[in-house]
Chains A and B, each alone.
Chain A
Amino acid sequence: MISDYSALKLSVVPFTGSHMQKPGTMAQVKSGLQLAALTLLSFGVAGLFLAGVAYSFFPTGHSRVLGLVFLMISVPVMVVTMNRWVKVLAGVLALAVLNGLLSIGTGHLLANPTQPISRVDAFFMTVLFAVATALVSTLKGRKLNFVDRIAVMAFVSILAVLICYEGARITLASTDFVLMGVGLCCLLVAWGYDRLHRRRGHNEPGHHLGGPAGSPADPIR
């Protein structure tokens, strides 16, 4: 009787290994290499874009045509793959906030103790980056529409212009804050448009689905 009971228990309790198969070592290696290649590729495209902006619009001693070619290659790739890299952008901006906090804490340029900076300027720039992080992270949970894509591209372009305009300068000018503010306005427009669009969707007659954004019940998904 006891042996029957234990046999029954063994037959009922599912064997974990049969349901979840662990991926093989080669599959894991392949996946890791793919991720590393994609990461390098995305950094390469970002560098191409930044170099394109620098060569085309700023005196760097390089050909402007080359800059335009860089932009013609990188911009379409960025627009098409935006749904993927916008998540990484939120992370990069979050790390920028962390770097800003480090700069405020140490009182010098990041990773350069010989260059002191104004902590007040660093604080305000960090706050702007924190707001940008919050706005970009709202884009992650939804499928990007046309307005989102334009806004994100405008923000990234302004950020590139800001980096190129600044060059090796360590003191922040008012133009830097204005440029960053314009970039934030672009993100705010996208955020506001999404909120408005979602509210209209909820107020439409016959709409009975009350799920949050990104959920299966969300009509704007």
Chain B
Amino acid sequence: MGVQASFRAAIRQTTTCGNSSGFTLGIRAPGQTFNQCLVANAKNYSAGGVFALSTNTDLGTGFVGQLVGGNTFTSLYAGLAGSAEDAVGVAGTSSPDLLNSAIGSTTTFGRRTSNILSLNLAGKGGLPQALSSSSRGLKSFLGSASKAFNLGLDASLKAAGDLGLFGAEIIGCSIHR
């Protein structure tokens, strides 16, 4: 019972709103909306922000520091929460992947289709294509653009860290101080 009572007291202390002396998980200030809290704390929940806080300096909060150590997800949210035209940059980076996957392989049809090999007939001129072969150039370009924008697994470690920090920020902003 003694342990339970002390545990309850500790929980009560951590969840008391407006009590600045007790520890609380919440970071949302009184009167602040959830959205305002997320945008206001976005820079702190990044590798650069963590570094600045842990070393008690302002390093990592400048332009280049935020480029390298900034949180892509919180920035994305801050950009989207700002205004509609702010989202243009985001669409530009994701469109090559989307278009590339949408193009896929050229569809063939008829008796010489590539999908059903057993029905193929011998003949000249190759497979009749539903789309022109000229789309190959665009597909190659989009493939290169996609590689440039998204280095796949190489970026996944930092992206996972960013996502974790974004989750922590969401939890923090869900709870009042």
Q: Do A and B bind each other?
A: yes
Q: Is A162 an interface residue (CB 8 A)?
A: yes
**Bound form: Cα–Cα A107–B78 in Å:** 12
Q: Is B92 an interface residue (CB 8 A)?
A: yes
Task: Name the contact of B66 in the complex, choosing from A51, A101, A111, A133 (C-beta under 8 A).
Answer: A111
CB proximity of A129 to chain B, nearest CB, Å: 7
From A126, which residue of chain B is reached at the shortest CB distance?
A: B67
CB-contacts of B54-100 with A (<8 A): 54-55, 57-72, 74-76, 78-79, 82, 86-90, 92-93
Residue contact A168 to B39, C-beta cutoff 8 Å: no
Residue contact B63 to A111, C-beta cutoff 8 Å: no
Contact A54:B151 (CB < 8 A) given known A99-B67, A111-B66, A166-B64: no
Residue contact B76 to A102, C-beta cutoff 8 Å: yes
Q: Is B13 an interface residue (CB 8 A)?
A: no
For the residues of B in contact with A, the DSSP-based class is helix
From B52, which residue of chain A is reached at the shortest CB distance?
A: A168
Q: Is B160 an interface residue (CB 8 A)?
A: yes
From B77, which residue of chain A is reached at the shortest CB distance?
A: A111
Residue contact B66 to A110, C-beta cutoff 8 Å: yes
Residue contact B54 to A47, C-beta cutoff 8 Å: yes
From B70, which residue of chain A is reached at the shortest CB distance?
A: A110
CB proximity of A144 to chain B, nearest CB, Å: 15
Q: Is B155 an interface residue (CB 8 A)?
A: yes
CB-contacts of A177-191 with B (<8 A): 180
Contact A112:B42 (CB < 8 A) given known A98-B93, A104-B89, A163-B60: yes
Chain B residues whose CB sits within 8 angstroms of the CB of A95 once the complex forms: 72, 155, 158-159, 162
Chain B residues whose CB sits within 8 angstroms of the CB of A134 once the complex forms: 148
Chain A residues whose CB sits within 8 angstroms of the CB of B46 once the complex forms: 111
Contact A101:B89 (CB < 8 A) given known A112-B78, A172-B63: yes
Q: What per-residue 1/0 map shows which CB atoms of A111-139 lie under 8 Å from chain B?
A: 11100010001100110011001100100
Q: Which residues of A contact B (CB under 8 A)?
A: 39, 42-43, 47, 50-51, 54, 60, 62, 87-88, 90-113, 117, 121-122, 125-126, 129-130, 133-134, 137, 140, 159, 162-164, 166-172, 176, 180
Q: Besides A101-B89, A121-B63, 9 other CB < 8 A contacts?
A: A47-B51, A100-B67, A105-B79, A106-B79, A109-B66, A110-B43, A110-B67, A167-B62, A168-B62
3 closest A-B pairs by CB: A105-B89, A91-B154, A91-B155
| Sample of 28 A–B contacts (CB below 8 Å) | A42-B157, A43-B161, A54-B57, A91-B158, A94-B150, A95-B72, A95-B158, A97-B149, A98-B93, A99-B66, A99-B70, A101-B92, A102-B90, A105-B88, A105-B92, A106-B78, A106-B86, A110-B66, A110-B78, A112-B43, A125-B63, A129-B67, A162-B64, A166-B63, A169-B62, A170-B62, A170-B63, A172-B63
